[in-house]
Structure 1
Amino acid sequence: MSMVSSRRGLPLVLSALLLAVLILSAQADVKRYQFDIVMSNMSRLCHAKSMVTVNGSYPGPTVYAREGDRVVVRVTNRVEHNVTIHWHGLKQRRNGWADGPAYVTQCPIQGGAGSYTYDFNVTGQRGRLWWHAHIAWLRATVHGAIVVLPERGVPYPFPKPDAEAEIILGEWWHADVDAVEKQGRMLGMAPNTSDAHTINGKPGPLFPCSEKHTYALQVQWGKTYILRVINAAVNDELFFSIAGHTMTVVEIDATYTKPLAASTIQLSPGQTTNVLVRADQRPGRYFMAAKPFNDVPVPADNKAATAILQYAGVPTSARYPADVPRAVDRHLLYTIGLNVDLCASCVNGSHLVASLNNITFMMPRVALLQAHYGGLRGVFAADFPDRPPARFNYTGVPLTAGLATSLVTRLSKLAYNSSVELVLQDTNLLSVESHPFHLHGYNFFVVGRGLGNFDPAKDPAKYNLVDPPERNTVGVPAGGWTAIRFRADNPGVWFLHCHLEVHTSWGLKMAFLVEDGNGPDQSALPPPKDLPKC
């Protein structure tokens, strides 16, 4: 088997982070990766602008580990932007210090050669995840894959593929993404949509440019490939398909799932999906395509990215049970709202804001995790409401003026090991819209979804409590709701936010404060000595 991997490709590198990875395992030799930051002058798109990258590549380097490994990542920030790295989907047991969201679990790594070492174990997880910057919109170009292999001697619970390939879906602006975000904030409106979508850093031959840069995957007839697909786009939900081929979904967000045959898969920003593809068609060249999904009547980024596929099933098992909490200690209902608030500093005199339960989350100047364990008072309140303060027909006639929101830093406190059900309810404040939500520090079970208003008297009877999908990122349908369940057994402060960066920047986020337990392994680890200070 041979693979043509013309992947790591997009534009000029402003410079970036120095990433050194050391993987230590009791079951394997020490694996060392030296990821150096360089000044590059690549040109993969028309009119390319400077960009922040890791090791001079876009997407960044793939981190390989095996279930049970310890991973040590030293990050040195050589650009002017402050930076953090989030290891998306890794549960970080008792180790929020390595989670990475800026001002939630750590202060940022300062520009000008500031550094921080992320040190964590990969426990009880295997499959495909990813890492990305978690401050402003830098994850647009600062991201890469994480591949966690099963423990040695443990087979996949599906037919072993002959080979594998990474498919990272992204989006690209002809401008500095930080400037794009700031311009939108100044105008009080949604920022400009991206200029292109990419597959492994390349837009494909349909992009209007004199030079065609295309990712190509070479396969051999009759062999089966596992494609590890990540949606690393900043704001767009994407459809992915391969002309003439059927994909079999075998894993979502690094958890095995029952096999599902599909001609097209849809991924929200932050989600990962592994699919099996058998090269059984007439030898030739076939398009792979990523195209955005749009569910609101506003100008949308409608540019498809293409790549080339070129010829040269898992039931729930005893080993991976769906341990869904049956009894629930805390029932939470969070309404998702958009609003227009007055803004004296904005050009138009107003700006768009977003809220959960009418609270627009205000990011603190001190990291929440550090404030909690450092005993700092006045940084946050631990009284985030379990339910919206006002009940109304959430998905009825559009409300052109949203309910009043407050800009505060409030966390929801959860008792250790309590079982939680969270219903995320979209609303028609300004407009209904789908929202991908990501919970740090946990996987959760998606037990129910529906359109319209959630009915606590009727809808729980329809839940799947036997074999629901297990994820770390889930989409809330436009004008509908999604119910998730998890057990709060990982102490610390854990971020919950919409994975559309434009909505996160408007305040569509909050955090859970999970208390320590009483046992020896039920409290957060002490902070690292080199933890950045704000």
Structure 2
Amino acid sequence: MDSWVRMLVFIACIVPPLVECKVRHYKFNVVLKNTTRLCSSKPIVTVNGKFPGPTLYAREDDTVLVKVRNLVNHNVTIHWHGVRQIRTGWADGPAYITQCPILPGQSYVYNFTLTGQRGTLLWHAHVNWLRSTLHGAIVILPKLGVPYPFPKPDKELVVILGEWWKSDTEDVINEALKSGLAPNVSDAHTINGLPGTVSVANCSTQADVYKLPVESGKTYLLRIINAALNEELFFKIAGHLLTVVEVDASYVKPFKTDTILVAPGQTTNALLTTDQNSGKYTIVASTFMDSPVVAVDNLTATATLHYTGTLATTPTVLITPPPRNATQVANNFTKALKSLNSKKYPANVPLTVDHSLLFTVGLGINPCPSCTAGNGSRVVAAVNNVTFVMPTTALLQAHYFNTQGVFTTDFPGNPPQVYNYTATPAAASSQTTNGTKVYRLPFNSTVQVVLQDTGVIAPESHPIHLHGFNFFVVGSGVGNYDPKTDASNFNLVDPVERNTIGVPTGGWVAFRFRADNPGKKSVVLALPFRGAYNMGVKDGILGGQWERNRRRPSYAERSFERIQRSQAKEDNEKGGWFFK
């Protein structure tokens, strides 16, 4: 940390009437844990032996230090999904983008401040498919004395939705890369790590049901997180309505719904009023995918909302989840999301745009002579027909030290070819180009990005995450984006503010943000799907294919780690490293 920044923090901390200042210390040991689900056991990668991992608690403007020790035989990084990382880009976590991986047997201290943020986010591994089990919640409480802009709940509960593979997930993705085909879908969905009662051959999963204990007449704040790798999920509770009050750590105008839609990497806070006297009520998490040709995991995860005092023999009230292609249910939810846009929490959506970008987001084909199952080709992801090639030097390091030959600055701001993007079959070639390319954005410029799905190979919904920034979702639609007619209908008053968005199947979504996070290589990332990444970098947007790379951290990175260790030692001498 720069000396002047440390001095400001010190001054702030010794003036308690003006500001509350805390440093939160956490210790993450990445270890294997033998775990049984769906009547079979396997070792999984966890933090501190927990699945899901431990919840990181802090308050707005707190500084967080997390010492991650890698005690497994995989390279590891941790991404703090949704944390803006203002002037702490080194702590963001994407492997070979902001840092080199933490090698087996080594450790790294992540150091960042939750500047102006409060709400629910998540952390997860950002190497390969380790995040299928290596994930957990981030709960950022408001500053002391600052109330929620909604009725205070009696209790808060974290609900993490995920996926479970009976096979090792590293084997799943490696087999996909070897064959050239899409990876196998998961074997089950999970609610707080458990699949619930599901129909699996020769297996009873009665013991794998998560129970959510509640009291009658109370209000609970559910912090719902989708930590799945690939699939958007519906979330419902039998016999109860939910009042949505926040998404992606941004407050929204409250509204009631019986169904919540949450994409991979998204979070939703909802108030649950326990207005029944007693009983057991089914909780379900089920897939949303309205592309008929895309394979998904169709198993619905279940849990139980259990009122205290209810007899064990009481029948559970059941509920039917929406169909997997319930587009109207999904649209009704997303259209209801509006920023709170109050005096205290305004929606500062850019009204003018300095950079207007159109990105086609979809699949493509790359030559792969060794991919026999794919007939000498491999399915990849692409943005504007560019498939990302993972560098061997972290992009942030290359930018910081002006290292040549790591990336180029010629990423196209528009598709190289204009065609009927959503036509099936596609009117464009499926062959992509490879590169590590960036698109430069001047500091403090305003940016509009339109993400356009394509019918190349198959139309489908794609989750997109912007590292280091929130953005305002100003519009979305079906078919091809038309700047002449669609832009006139943009919501520039109270659009929802997010950090992750799903591009509609066969459609488009538009968002705006201000590039006001200097020195940060922020990544626009289509979460791992079909064996590929799509990435973008502040001062650049990229498209991407996953590759495995191993190398030792550079001298600069090791020096940076030593600096962080030195800071940790100073904190330890002042009163203890870690707290429980």
TM-score by length of 2: 0.82
1:445–1:470 CA contact under 8 A, matched in 2: yes
Q: Secondary structure at the match of 2:171?
A: helix
How far off its partner does 1:403 sit? 4.3
Matched, 1:107 2:103: no
Of the candidates 271, 289, 299, which is equivalent to residue 284 of structure 2? Answer: 289
Structure 1 counterpart of 2:204? 210
How far off its partner does 1:497 sit? 1.4
- Determine the C-alpha separation between the residues in 2 that align with 1:30 and 1:330: 38
- Determine the C-alpha separation between the residues in 1 that align with 2:97 and 2:24: 31
Matched, 1:325 2:350: yes
Matched, 1:502 2:498: no
- Give CA deviations for 1:20-65 in whole Å, capped at 9, x if unaligned: xxxx994266655455556644434411211111000110000000
Of the candidates 55, 75, 81, which is equivalent to residue 68 of structure 2? Answer: 75
Q: Secondary structure at the match of 2:488?
A: helix
- Determine the C-alpha separation between the residues in 2 that align with 1:178 and 1:314: 39
- Give CA deviations for 1:460-499 in whole Å, capped at 9, x if unaligned: 1100001100000011101110000000010221111112
Of the candidates 284, 309, 316, which is equivalent to residue 341 of structure 2? Answer: 316
Structure 1 counterpart of 2:42? 49
Matched, 1:142 2:134: yes
How far off its partner does 1:331 sit? 0.3
Structure 2 counterpart of 1:20? none
Structure 2 counterpart of 1:340? 365
Greater shift after overlay, 303-312 or 343-352?
343-352
Distance 1:448 1:422, change over 3 A: same
Matched, 1:166 2:158: yes
How far off its partner does 1:101 sit? 0.2
Structure 2 counterpart of 1:483? 510
Distance 1:527 1:289, change over 3 A: same
Matched, 1:384 2:411: yes
How far off its partner does 1:351 sit? 1.3
Of the candidates 245, 254, 263, which is equivalent to residue 258 of structure 2? Answer: 263
Structure 2 counterpart of 1:513? 539
How far off its partner does 1:342 sit? 2.7
2:33–2:43 CA contact under 8 A, matched in 1: no
Distance 1:33 1:91, change over 3 A: closer
Matched, 1:176 2:135: no
Structure 1 counterpart of 2:184? 192
1:44–1:202 CA contact under 8 A, matched in 2: yes
Matched, 1:236 2:231: yes
Q: Secondary structure at the match of 1:107?
A: coil
Distance 1:180 1:478, change over 3 A: same
Q: What amino acid does structure 2 have at the position aligned with 1:482?
A: V
1:335–1:357 CA contact under 8 A, matched in 2: yes
Greater shift after overlay, 305-314 or 355-364?
305-314
Q: Secondary structure at the match of 1:43?
A: strand
- Give CA deviations for 1:117-176 in whole Å, capped at 9, x if unaligned: 000001011000010000111110000000000011100000001101000000011111
Structure 2 counterpart of 1:459? 486
Q: Secondary structure at the match of 2:146?
A: coil
- Determine the C-alpha separation between the residues in 2 that align with 1:58 and 1:100: 20
How far off its partner does 1:512 sit? 2.4
Q: What amino acid does structure 2 have at the position aligned with 1:387?
A: N
How far off its partner does 1:210 sit? 3.0
How far off its partner does 1:282 sit? 4.0
Q: What amino acid does structure 2 have at the position aligned with 1:76?
A: R
How many residue pairs were aligned?
497
Q: What amino acid does structure 1 have at the position aligned with 2:51?
A: Y
1:416–1:488 CA contact under 8 A, matched in 2: yes
Greater shift after overlay, 181-190 or 34-43?
34-43
Q: What amino acid does structure 2 have at the position aligned with 1:48?
A: S
Of the candidates 56, 67, 84, which is equivalent to residue 63 of structure 1? Answer: 56
Q: Secondary structure at the match of 2:178?
A: helix
2:365–2:431 CA contact under 8 A, matched in 1: no
- Determine the C-alpha separation between the residues in 2 that align with 1:319 and 1:95: 26
Higher helix share: 2
- Determine the C-alpha separation between the residues in 2 that align with 1:240 and 1:278: 16
Structure 1 counterpart of 2:317? none
How far off its partner does 1:383 sit? 1.7
- Determine the C-alpha separation between the residues in 2 that align with 1:486 and 1:135: 27
- Determine the C-alpha separation between the residues in 1 that align with 2:204 and 2:137: 30
Matched, 1:352 2:379: yes
How far off its partner does 1:528 sit? 8.0
How far off its partner does 1:371 sit? 0.5
Q: Secondary structure at the match of 2:244?
A: strand
Distance 1:358 1:462, change over 3 A: same
TM-score by length of 1: 0.89
Q: Sequence identity, in percent?
A: 54
Q: What amino acid does structure 2 have at the position aligned with 1:71?
A: V
Q: What amino acid does structure 1 have at the position aligned with 2:351?
A: R
1:226–1:276 CA contact under 8 A, matched in 2: yes
2:29–2:71 CA contact under 8 A, matched in 1: no
1:97–1:527 CA contact under 8 A, matched in 2: no
- Determine the C-alpha separation between the residues in 2 that align with 1:30 and 1:457: 50
- Determine the C-alpha separation between the residues in 1 that align with 2:26 and 2:561: 22
- Determine the C-alpha separation between the residues in 2 that align with 1:97 and 1:264: 38
- Give CA deviations for 1:261-313 in whole Å, capped at 9, x if unaligned: 11011111000000001000241000111011122223321011111101119
Distance 1:329 1:509, change over 3 A: same
1:401–1:430 CA contact under 8 A, matched in 2: no
- Determine the C-alpha separation between the residues in 2 that align with 1:346 and 1:281: 56
Q: What amino acid does structure 1 have at the position aligned with 2:179?
A: L
Q: Provide the alpha-carbon RMSD of the alignment.
A: 2.1
Distance 1:37 1:336, change over 3 A: closer
